[in-house]
């Protein structure tokens, strides 16, 4: 049983069909990279995985105890967030909200979870600092910690290294890889094909409604990889 | 100029002053709390648009010779507009800010035409735009409605504080974790609409949105956490209102303009403090 399985999915955005007849599975422990250029339908696919957009046809089945609202989502930063007055703690613990229903206050369990995830990403020392004064890399860690609070098993990362410098980018990739090695399933949307080929276990490449889906090893030998990286077949 | 003794000369006057003060404080509290969320979500212009529509609605009530019932006419109209503007802001195709300008200037134009047609004195239009100078216009209905409204808003902000934070900070993330963000936005629009209509009487439709924007912006100059901003925003706006209200009473100034002026002073003061503090930290 897969955590997520997409069957003959067709997605449309504002009336225009973006992706047609897409099928793939995500299993426990996978590290799936979704690559493709702007407008290839990456964000639309992500929105439907999160349940923010209904598929035009086909279906997305969640299994193995994963519910749709238990995917830990790391969105791209918006203009609103960059200067938002919030402490790191306030942001991280807000990840636990989805599970609580109508209960108004955070429980001891929520607090412990937030603390644990902050230690894991080594941001527990900046707990009281204001989110707006952090560096881009630190902000990304805070949002990742929030995503981890929202999930038990799966992270969905939307361009997690956008706007980060090379050193911080490498750190971010390392953190994500470690989380994956510890059993978290990762779906990452990315422009960075080279990094995808290095870290991912599976690759989904979207391009003009054509696509490639397979393991990383298959991908490196496919025409897609050659075309987009400009290299020869190995 | 009135002295305190004259102001509180009769029991009747004391009653009027106390009632106006209570309504003012309740509306101020509501708008300062709602304002934090609105300003952070970049919705502050919606507050301004709604107050213009409120002006039109009050003019309509005057034209229908139903000035006594104006709250019951303007509240539904402004609520419907608020929901409409919210939908407009969420859809990507429309040019939100331009449409907002059309709605608010259109409402003001229709409103002043209605005032002309109904042969109202120009002082009535002036009161509606800049706030009423007399305290007689604040009735028992204002008192009851503003009490109900502020209880609703305080309950909302205490019990759903965590959700309000999450939705204001990141709507898509909240939606993905299963929070009903549409319901919250709708609630925000409705409560803002009611707050604006209730406050318009005293503050005037041109200045009521100041009560929404100023306290939030002022406290964000100094506070760096969401909880801090909310608490600071509520306290600053209440203090500014009390100062402005009594200054206006004693000096015979307009209440609305005086309260906004005090808010402006607070904003400048907090900006200076915030800047110098940032310099010290660096």
Work out the minimum CA distance from B219 to partner chain A, whole angstroms: 10
> pLDDT tens across B55-88, in order?
999 999 888 888 778 889 999 999 999 998 888 7
Question: Are residues A89 and A114 in contact, defined by beta-carbon separation less than 8 angstroms?
Answer: yes
Q: So what's the pLDDT on residue B4?
A: 60
CA distances from A199 to A61, A175, A192 (A): 26, 11, 11
Measured between beta carbons, the chain B residues lying within 8 angstroms of A148 are none
The C-alpha atoms of residue B6 and residue B12 are separated, in whole angstroms, by: 12
Contact of A53 with chain B, judged by CB distance below 8 Å, is answered with no
Does A97 contact B162 at a Cβ distance shorter than 8 Å?
yes
The CA-to-CA distance between both ends of chain B, in Å, stands at 48
The architecture (CATH level 2) of B4-281 comes to Orthogonal Bundle (1.10)
CATH class for the region spanning A1-66+185-234: alpha beta
Question: Are residues B46 and B89 in contact, defined by beta-carbon separation less than 8 angstroms?
Answer: yes
Measured between beta carbons, the chain A residues lying within 8 angstroms of B230 are none
Average pLDDT for residues A51-77, to the nearest whole number?
A: 85
> pLDDT tens across A89-117, in order?
999 999 988 777 677 888 888 899 999 99
Question: Are residues A181 and A212 in contact, defined by beta-carbon separation less than 8 angstroms?
Answer: no
Q: What count of other Cβ atoms lies within 10 Å of the Cβ of residue B68?
A: 10
Average pLDDT for residues A152-156, to the nearest whole number?
A: 88
The C-alpha atoms of residue B258 and residue B64 are separated, in whole angstroms, by: 31
Q: What is the CA radius of gyration of chain A?
A: 18
DSSP A65: T
Residues 165-224 of A with CB under 8 A from B: none
Q: So what's the pLDDT on residue A210?
A: 63
Among chain B residues, the shortest Cα distance to A91 is held by: B166
How is residue B267 written in tokens? 């904003």
Whether the pLDDT of residue A231 is over 60: the answer is no
Start-end of H helices in chain B: 4-7, 11-40, 44-63, 70-90, 96-117, 122-130, 140-159, 161-169, 171-176, 181-203, 208-220, 226-251, 255-281
Average pLDDT for residues B272-277, to the nearest whole number?
A: 90
Average pLDDT for residues B254-267, to the nearest whole number?
A: 94
The C-alpha atoms of residue B165 and residue B101 are separated, in whole angstroms, by: 29
Average pLDDT for residues A31-60, to the nearest whole number?
A: 86
Does A73 contact B224 at a Cβ distance shorter than 8 Å?
no
Mean pLDDT across chain B = 87
Whether the pLDDT of residue A183 is over 90: the answer is no
Q: Which residue has the higher pLDDT, A135 or B6?
A: A135
DSSP A130: B
Does B176 contact A78 at a Cβ distance shorter than 8 Å?
no
Q: Which residue has the higher pLDDT, B68 or B135?
A: B68
For residue A185, the cross-strand partners are: A154
Residue A228 buriedness (CB in 10 A; 0-12 / 13-18 / 19+): middle
Question: Please, which pLDDT band fits residue A232 given cuts at 50, 70 and 90?
Answer: very low
Does A87 contact B178 at a Cβ distance shorter than 8 Å?
no
User: Residue A138: in which H helix or E strand, if any?
Assistant: helix A136-149
Residue B193 buriedness (CB in 10 A; 0-12 / 13-18 / 19+): buried
Q: Report the b/e string of A87-118 with b at 16+ CB within 10 A.
A: bbbbbbbbbbbbbbeeeeebeeebeebbbebb
DSSP A89: H
Q: Which residue has the higher pLDDT, B53 or B99?
A: B53
Q: So what's the pLDDT on residue B93?
A: 58
Whether the pLDDT of residue B139 is over 60: the answer is yes
Q: Which residue has the higher pLDDT, B176 or B32?
A: B32
Question: Are residues A199 and A177 in contact, defined by beta-carbon separation less than 8 angstroms?
Answer: yes
Domain boundaries defined on chain B: 4-281
Whether the pLDDT of residue A233 is over 50: the answer is no
C-alpha dihedral (B203, B47, B41, B85), degrees to nearest 10: 170
Question: Please, which pLDDT band fits residue B95 given cuts at 50, 70 and 90?
Answer: low
Instruction: Give residue for tokens 């105890």.
Output: A65
Whether the pLDDT of residue A209 is over 90: the answer is no
Average pLDDT for residues A181-186, to the nearest whole number?
A: 90
Mutate to test the interface with A, among B157, B176, B178, B220 (most CBs of A within 10 A): B176
Measured between beta carbons, the chain A residues lying within 8 angstroms of B176 are 50-52, 69, 71, 73, 98
Q: Count of A–B CB contacts within 8 Å?
A: 83
Q: So what's the pLDDT on residue A57?
A: 85
The C-alpha atoms of residue B210 and residue B232 are separated, in whole angstroms, by: 16
């Amino acid at each position: 049983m897969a955590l997520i399985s997409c069957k003959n999915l067709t997605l449309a955005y504002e009336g225009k069909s973006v992706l047609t007849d897409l099928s793939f599975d995500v299993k426990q422990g996978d590290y799936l990279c979704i690559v493709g250029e702007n407008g290839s339908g990456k964000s639309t696919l992500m929105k439907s995985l999160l349940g923010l957009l209904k598929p035009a046809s086909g279906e997305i089945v969640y299994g193995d105890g994963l519910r749709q609202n238990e995917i830990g989502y790391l969105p791209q930063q918006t203009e609103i967030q960059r200067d938002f007055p919030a402490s790191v703690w306030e942001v991280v613990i807000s990840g636990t909200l989805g599970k609580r229903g109508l209960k108004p206050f955070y429980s001891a369990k929520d607090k412990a979870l937030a603390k644990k995830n902050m230690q894991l990403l080594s941001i527990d020392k900046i707990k009281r600092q204001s989110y707006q004064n952090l560096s881009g890399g630190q902000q990304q860690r805070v949002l990742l910690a929030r995503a981890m609070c929202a999930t038990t098993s799966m992270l969905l990362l939307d361009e997690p290294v956008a706007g980060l410098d090379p050193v911080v980018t490498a750190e971010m990739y390392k953190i994500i890889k470690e989380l994956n090695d510890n059993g978290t399933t990762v779906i990452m949307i990315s422009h960075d094909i080279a990094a995808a080929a290095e870290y991912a276990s599976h690759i989904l490449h979207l391009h003009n409604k054509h696509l490639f889906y397979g393991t990383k090893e298959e991908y490196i030998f496919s025409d897609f990889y050659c075309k987009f990286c400009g290299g020869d077949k190995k | 100029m009135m002295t305190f003794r004259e102001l509180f000369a009769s029991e009747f006057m004391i009653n009027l002053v106390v009632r106006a003060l209570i309504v003012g404080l309740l509306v101020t509290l509501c708008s300062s709390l709602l304002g934090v969320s609105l300003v952070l979500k970049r919705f502050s212009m919606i507050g301004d648009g709604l107050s213009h529509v409120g002006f039109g609605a009050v003019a309509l009530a005057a034209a229908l010779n139903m000035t006594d019932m104006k709250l019951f006419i303007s509240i539904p109209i402004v609520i419907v507009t608020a929901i409409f503007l919210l939908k407009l802001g969420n859809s990507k195709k429309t040019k939100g800010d331009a449409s907002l300008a059309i709605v608010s200037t259109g409402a003001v134009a229709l409103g002043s035409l209605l005032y002309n047609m109904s042969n109202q004195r120009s002082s009535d239009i002036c009161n509606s735009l800049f706030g009423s100078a007399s305290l007689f216009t604040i009735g028992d209905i204002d008192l009851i409605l503003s009490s109900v409204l502020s209880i609703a808003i305080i309950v909302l902000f205490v019990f759903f504080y965590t959700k309000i934070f999450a939705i204001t900070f990141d709507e898509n993330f909240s939606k993905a974790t299963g929070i009903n963000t549409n319901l919250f936005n709708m609630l925000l629009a409705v409560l803002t609409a009611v707050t604006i209509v209730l406050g318009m009487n005293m503050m005037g439709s041109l200045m009521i949105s100041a009560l929404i924007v100023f306290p939030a912006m002022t406290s964000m100059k100094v506070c760096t956490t969401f909880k801090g901003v909310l608490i600071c925003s509520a306290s600053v706006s209440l203090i500014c209102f009390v100062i402005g209200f009594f200054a206006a009473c004693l000096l015979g100034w307009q209440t609305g303009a005086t309260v906004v002026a005090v808010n402006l002073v607070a904003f400048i003061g907090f900006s200076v403090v915030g800047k110098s503090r940032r310099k010290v930290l660096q």
